[in-house]
């Protein structure tokens, strides 16, 4: 299985792809999921290698890529900084501990068929955009596809799983379905912007009626907001921002309450933990409860996991009949297989 329009492409953000191209990945993902359920071998990437470089710890991302490559007939070595030299941008090398990205990318490209990278938060000093810059530096130097397993701006792989599970629950055509990406309280302020930003981009690309809800002071990247507005207009959807959680839940089909931090997105500084903590503590009422879910149109509850229970969401909601978090997590495996089959195959 291969497609000349996608083969060899990097997968860094949905903004690099058209809706038709994303739907090709999703259709392939649904097909491969059916094959896996029927235990039909589908070694599309037989004897191929995905070199995975993790700056951050991982459960779902690492497992889904390793298992996915195995099911596709390939292999996915796990490379963790600390066990190997840490790739660095030009001018940031330190003797004996780092190696320039241009060298790492070119070497890994000679030893595999794609490179996947996960970097955000502490490894970048919470400097917004640096993780994305590192991922793009790999893509600049690599002659094989580079996959973004989450940086500080985008999590395109999670977005594949999110849209895939909504298609399974609401029907393949998500046009006009009402989707809410809401901030939710957490005791930890170390929460990147990647998931909510990719969630609103992907929902808008699918033509959904998208609401972004958050307390004042928790704004997302204005460039992402503008891109989301443009996608909503292009694909016949809608996009609005509200600052009331109850209002955002009224009559909707899907809710996705998740914490993200207070962070400058214009390069003017880094995340200030004390400032972020003050905003978080002033908004403890932003939690997904049974009462809030009752405001919806029997909405499905989504979360990328791990969720902060009794902060972002109550147990009765996350473990309730409308929660689709496990199917959503499972689709990390299938969505990524659909993407890899097309860009690596």
CA distance 275 to 292: 28
CA distance 306 to 186: 12
Tokens in use for 328? 């959503």
Same domain, 226 and 244: yes
**Is the alpha carbon torsion for 66, 18, 133, 160 positive or negative?**
negative
Same domain, 247 and 229: yes
Any domain includes 318: yes
Give 299's Cβ-side CA count (13 Å radius): 29
pLDDT tens for the 345 residues of the chain, in order: 444 589 999 999 999 999 999 999 999 999 999 999 999 999 999 999 999 999 998 899 999 999 999 999 999 999 887 777 777 888 787 766 778 999 999 999 999 999 999 999 999 999 999 999 999 999 999 999 999 999 999 999 999 999 999 999 999 999 999 999 999 999 999 999 999 999 999 999 999 999 999 999 999 999 999 999 999 999 999 999 999 999 999 999 999 999 999 999 998 999 999 999 999 999 999 999 999 999 999 999 999 999 999 999 999 999 999 999 999 999 999 999 999 999 999
DSSP-assigned letters across all residues of 69-121: HHHTT-B--EE-BTTBPEEE-TT---TTTEEEHHHHHHHHHHT-SEEEEE--S
Per-residue pLDDT, 116: 98
Same domain, 182 and 200: yes
Cα 115 to Cα 56, 108, 319: the distances in Å are 16, 7, 36
Residues 60, 53 contacting (CB under 8 angstroms): no
Which residue has tokens 């998208």? 210
Any domain includes 230: yes
Give 2's Cβ-side CA count (13 Å radius): 8
Report field, pTM of the whole predicted structure over 0.75: yes
Same domain, 287 and 337: no
Any domain includes 9: no
> Which residues span the domain enclosing 196?
158-329
CA distance 253 to 296: 7
Tokens in use for 59? 């459960």
Same domain, 139 and 29: yes
Any domain includes 5: no
The closest of 308, 193, 184, 186 to 262, measured between CA atoms, is 193
Same domain, 273 and 339: no
DSSP-assigned letters across all residues of 283-334: TTT--B-HHHHTTSSSPEE---S---BTTTB-HHHHTSTTB-HHHHHHHHHH
* CATH number of the domain bearing residue 253: 3.40.50.1370
Residues 220, 178 contacting (CB under 8 angstroms): no
Any domain includes 278: yes
Per-residue pLDDT, 1: 43
The count of structural domains within the chain is 2
Same domain, 103 and 193: no
Same domain, 240 and 313: yes
Same domain, 178 and 125: no
Same domain, 186 and 290: yes
Pairing of the two strands 86-88 and 178-182? unpaired
Same domain, 164 and 300: yes
Same domain, 197 and 244: yes
């Amino acid at each position: 299985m291969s497609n000349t329009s996608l083969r060899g492409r990097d997968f860094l953000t949905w903004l690099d792809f058209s809706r038709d191209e994303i739907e090709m990945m999703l259709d392939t993902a649904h097909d491969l999921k059916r094959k896996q359920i029927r235990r039909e071998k589908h070694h599309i990437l037989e004897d191929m290698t995905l070199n995975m470089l993790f700056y951050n710890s991982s459960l779902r991302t690492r497992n889904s890529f390793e298992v996915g490559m195995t099911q596709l007939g390939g292999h996915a070595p796990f490379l963790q900084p600390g066990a190997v030299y840490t790739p660095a941008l030009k001018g940031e090398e330190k003797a004996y501990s780092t190696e320039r990205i241009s060298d790492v990318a070119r070497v890994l490209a000679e030893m595999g068929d794609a490179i996947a990278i996960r970097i955000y938060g502490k490894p970048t000093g919470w400097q917004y955009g640096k993780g994305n810059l590192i991922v793009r530096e790999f893509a600049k130097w690599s002659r094989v596809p580079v996959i973004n397993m989450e940086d500080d701006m985008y999590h395109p792989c999670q977005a594949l799983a999110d849209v895939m599970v909504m298609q399974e629950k609401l029907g393949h055509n998500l046009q006009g379905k009402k989707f809410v990406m809401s901030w939710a309280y957490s005791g930890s302020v170390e929460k990147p912007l990647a998931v909510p930003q990719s969630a609103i981009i992907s929902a808008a690309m699918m033509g959904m009626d998208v609401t972004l809800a958050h307390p004042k002071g928790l704004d997302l990247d204005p460039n992402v907001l503008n891109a989301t507005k443009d996608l909503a207009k292009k694909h016949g959807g809608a996009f609005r921002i509200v600052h009331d959680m109850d209002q955002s839940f009224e009559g909707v089909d899907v809710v996705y309450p998740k914490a993200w931090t207070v962070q400058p997105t214009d390069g003017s500084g880094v995340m200030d933990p004390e400032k972020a903590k003050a905003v978080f503590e002033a908004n403890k009422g932003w939690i997904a409860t049974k009462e809030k879910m009752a405001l919806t149109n029997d909405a499905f509850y989504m979360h990328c996991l791990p969720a902060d229970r009794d902060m972002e969401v109550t147990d009765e909601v996350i473990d309730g009949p409308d929660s689709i978090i496990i199917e959503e997590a499972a689709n990390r495996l299938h969505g990524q297989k659909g993407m890899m089959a097309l860009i690596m195959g």
